[in-house]
Amino acid sequence: MDNPESHTPSTSFTLASKVKDYFLLIKFTLSFTVVFSCVICFLLAPKNGYDWGMIIVIFVAGMLVTGSANAINQAVEKDTDAMMKRTGTRPVASGRMSQNEAYTFALISGGLGVMMMWYFFNISSALLSAFSLFLYAFIYTPLKKINSIAVLIGAFPGALPCLIGWVAGFYNQPVAWTGGIILFGIQFLWQFPHFWAIAWVAHQDYSKAGFKLLPADKGPTKFTALQAVMYSVLMIPVGILPKVFGMTGNISLWIVLACNLFMVVQSARLYKEMDIKAARRVMFSSYIYLPIVLLALLADKVL
């Protein structure tokens, strides 16, 4: 007779593998970064304190919505993901998970996340969440193979979590939109040097899959590097606006200014050196930039 205990390790392994696949499906690290921005901007809303229960709620809702968008992305890009070395092991691309399973998960998690935003916060944050999900999954994702304008389109759902968090922080009170739009602008502009640096490093993989994500048709060029410099420079005046509009104080102003100048320098080095090493510096600098800037603004909050 079979020993029932002999099935336990296999069952546990299967369950652990399935959980791991769902973490990959929602791109947990990327989703966490996106939701981090949402939570910080939620806390930046005027007179909004540290209610840890509501912080957990908005984090979970944000992860559900963002995870839904990423699940749809992987289901749609099943074949192209399979072509690329860095994405070939994703659950749908590798065949470990069906497209229908990914779509079902996306429908349930996305719907639940949007409803949570509506129930616990306000209808404006729920509608913005639904719009962000739609824009990322159904406009940006298919557009990546058509035209590099996809990066511009994708920057909107990429920055909307800042606005969503800010709006949610007002609950059922009238929303003062200015602060949220400023925070949206900071993250919106940040995405261009950030994403083009990633596309520069992964250009061969992206080209193999047919993605058009660099501003120049010929791949990594001086024009691409110049675009990164231009958007890094634009980040400077936008980074000053939280102080100008009385959201934050002087300390964060100087921290944000220093971070913006650092991004300009790294992008300028990319323009000068034109190699993957310089692109990686821009990429890693951008990873560091966002949490430092957002946490500095929160620590120096005035309103």
**pLDDT class of 1 with cuts at 50, 70, 90:** very low
Reply yes or no on whether the pLDDT at 144 is more than 80. Answer: yes
Q: Which of 174, 102, 166, 101 is nearest to 129 (CA)?
A: 166
278-298 pLDDT tens trace: 999 999 999 999 999 999 999
Secondary structure (3-state) at 197: helix
At 84, the amino acid letter reads: M
Predicted local distance difference test score (pLDDT) of residue 224: 92
91-114 pLDDT tens trace: 999 999 999 999 999 999 999 999
Secondary structure (3-state) at 47: coil
Mean of pLDDT values over 266-285: 95
Mean of pLDDT values over 160-186: 97
The model carries a pTM of: 0.92
Q: Which of 238, 210, 221 is nearest to 297 (CA)?
A: 238
106-136 pLDDT tens trace: 999 999 999 999 999 999 999 999 999 999 9
User: What's the CATH fold of domain 14-175?
Assistant: Tetracycline Repressor; domain 2 (1.10.357)
Reply yes or no on whether the pLDDT at 12 is more than 70. Answer: no
Name, in order, each residue with C-beta under 8 angstroms of 269's C-beta and a sequence gap of 6 or more.
Answer: 278, 281, 282
